[in-house]
Structure 1
């Protein structure tokens, strides 16, 4: 009797289990999943732990070589250090000096990030295999696309435009076109920055030649015949115009002019209607960087609201489309030449040598 009762109980349990499976397969059992212990949240836990690892606090240092302006470079350094806790070791110089320093250190590179004042120079670094991509840069989707590398090897976080800068006390009727500077009235009164030292000056000269071809050298030869002086980098070319030792800078950098004007200096500028070059200022992470996470965070900071406001406050053109330029002409208000950045990159060295030889 006891065996019979046990058999009946076992059969009843088996039938119940089979009915349960059948009900689950037909979708008629409404609550079994809800009665199961919270397994799903536990399965998601590793993903949360991984996210925390990706957001780990940065530390250590970052070596940055940066083209000016000085107050912007220092402002960005201070803001980045405050945000990340990373110590920045910064060398400031012209694009030419930065590239020369990198060349001298190529056997033992130390720099993590370079900030240049010339787009072709950044293109050259990429072509030489010296940069690394960073496709996840925060804010990169808001940048003016023509100023940055589509593969994420450099980012045009700001820009300057080149124009005819003049002393307002000495020049009452400023020249309006590049060809006007060949007139006798400007003989011996004009400076031009050295493209071997100024990345933006190189951008202007190669940009002009990329559109004009060999005939573009005719204008530059006329400049030399009119005693135009080769005067160092941008600031060295501008200072004599501020003091009145010279009247004009050809291919002068606009943000320096706006800064000087805001301080009460007697300078102003003209963008020729025939067009000029807007020179992006790109930042790139070097492939040899020993501090890649810190370098990526630096690029993110350059493209942030905070840093882009610093850019605008320095009278540069912000790299982001949604940030307005401050008290100056914006990108859409500056007539631009048709230029070929690829040609400029390929021919930059040859143009520099020929130009400096011409102006000796």
Structure 2
């Protein structure tokens, strides 16, 4: 993941929608409806959709919920010659980059306010999610020995014991963590890490085992960790000093979409201050904007050292990366 600062051209905007009129890519819809393929659950989408309806009562949103980003892109690819959707909402930026042939690039006004920007304007940042090291302070009480970095997790005599870690084959969170480990260090590091890891089938187990004290250390998505800390769980979140793993939650305009202008209005709204304030206050997820503070209990984006993972490599070489991880695990056992 990498932060990019780019200048946006000042272009004419259309009507009250506040979206740019250049880069039109689809047919001529009626401008009164938009079909959204949504990857995130209703706890994320519904509060934001309610605000969109209030602000744009003349545009009907047809939301189609899909179980994952892979399924969403597969559907869009199957419909490539005759798109039935207008917007993809959800999933990390590297998957949009990997499937850029399905997305219509567009410069939107609210892109300028986001902390992360795609220079090709394929993906648009709608939330940001980081992963932290999680320590159970009952199981692992000595704060002086808590890991401060990825590198600490493989030091000889490390006091934390086995680290709960979901296999990256089944966990998107762990896949992001794995590509971060390789980027910051190398595959030799991964072999050392695997020797300290307790491999699990999914993210849920990785998260709950540290909360319940079954292990001293794991990783956790920061929004869930903050909720558990606020609820009284004995968890401490530590953002690695050598680089923080993270995902840029994104949205994109489906190439050839019939309702292209309504789609631009919708995606631009997702990045608006109104929508991003809801993202923080109701969804309790970190905003993509620089002018919307992080949810309570989370540090400001600017205070974190973000790992700059090559998204083309992470998305395009996934099979090889997973095979190399399996080899590292086998070598460590």
Tell me if TM exceeds 0.5: yes
| Map of 2:168 onto structure 1 | 195
| Map of 1:171 onto structure 2 | 140
| Map of 2:302 onto structure 1 | 332
Compute the displacement of 1:287 (Å): 1.3
**Aligned partners of 1:164 and 1:269 also within 8 Å:** yes
* Unaligned ranges ≥5, structure 2: 1-13, 20-28
**Aligned partners of 1:184 and 1:226 also within 8 Å:** no
- Secondary structure in 1 matching 2:317: helix
Q: Aligned partners of 2:73, 2:327: CA distance in 1, in Å?
A: 24
**Aligned partners of 1:110 and 1:289 also within 8 Å:** yes
Q: Deviations over 1:147-175 (max 9, x none)?
A: 22223211112212222012232221332
Q: Aligned partners of 2:168, 2:190: CA distance in 1, in Å?
A: 13
1:206 paired to 2:179: yes
Q: Aligned partners of 2:317, 2:120: CA distance in 1, in Å?
A: 22
Q: Deviations over 1:218-263 (max 9, x none)?
A: 2222222224213413x4421222223333223x221221122223
- Secondary structure in 2 matching 1:132: coil
Compute the displacement of 1:309 (Å): 0.7
1:224 paired to 2:189: no
Q: 1:322 aligns with which of 291, 294, 301?
A: 291
RMSD: 3.1
| Map of 2:211 onto structure 1 | 242
| Map of 2:250 onto structure 1 | 282
TM-score scaled by length of structure 1: 0.71
| Map of 1:98 onto structure 2 | 69
Q: Between Structure 1 and Structure 2, how many residues are aligned?
A: 296
Q: 2:51 aligns with which of 76, 79, 94?
A: 79
| Map of 1:26 onto structure 2 | none
| Map of 1:297 onto structure 2 | 265
Q: Aligned partners of 2:215, 2:151: CA distance in 1, in Å?
A: 18
| Map of 2:36 onto structure 1 | 63
TM-score scaled by length of structure 2: 0.76
**Aligned partners of 2:102 and 2:254 also within 8 Å:** yes
Q: Aligned partners of 2:175, 2:254: CA distance in 1, in Å?
A: 22
| Map of 2:324 onto structure 1 | 354
Q: Aligned partners of 1:226, 1:54: CA distance in 2, in Å?
A: 52
- Structure ID, larger Rg: 1
**Aligned partners of 2:124 and 2:250 also within 8 Å:** yes
Q: Aligned partners of 2:327, 2:138: CA distance in 1, in Å?
A: 33
Q: Aligned partners of 2:124, 2:130: CA distance in 1, in Å?
A: 17
| Map of 1:24 onto structure 2 | none
Compute the displacement of 1:302 (Å): 0.7
Q: 1:265 aligns with which of 233, 248, 256?
A: 233
**Aligned partners of 1:65 and 1:91 also within 8 Å:** yes
| Map of 2:223 onto structure 1 | 255
- Secondary structure in 2 matching 1:228: strand
**Aligned partners of 1:194 and 1:231 also within 8 Å:** yes
Q: Aligned partners of 1:237, 1:243: CA distance in 2, in Å?
A: 10
- Say which is worse superposed, 264-273 or 336-345, in terms of deviation: 336-345
Q: 1:89 to 1:158 in 2, by over 3 A?
A: same
Runs of 4+ in 1 over 6 A off after TM superposition: 52-57
Q: Aligned partners of 2:15, 2:244: CA distance in 1, in Å?
A: 47
Q: 2:87 aligns with which of 113, 127, 132?
A: 113
Q: Deviations over 1:157-211 (max 9, x none)?
A: 22122220122322213322223333564444x2224434444433332233234
Q: Aligned partners of 1:359, 1:80: CA distance in 2, in Å?
A: 47
Q: Aligned partners of 2:307, 2:18: CA distance in 1, in Å?
A: 44
1:89 paired to 2:68: no
Q: Deviations over 1:81-113 (max 9, x none)?
A: 3333423324254xxx32135326632364432
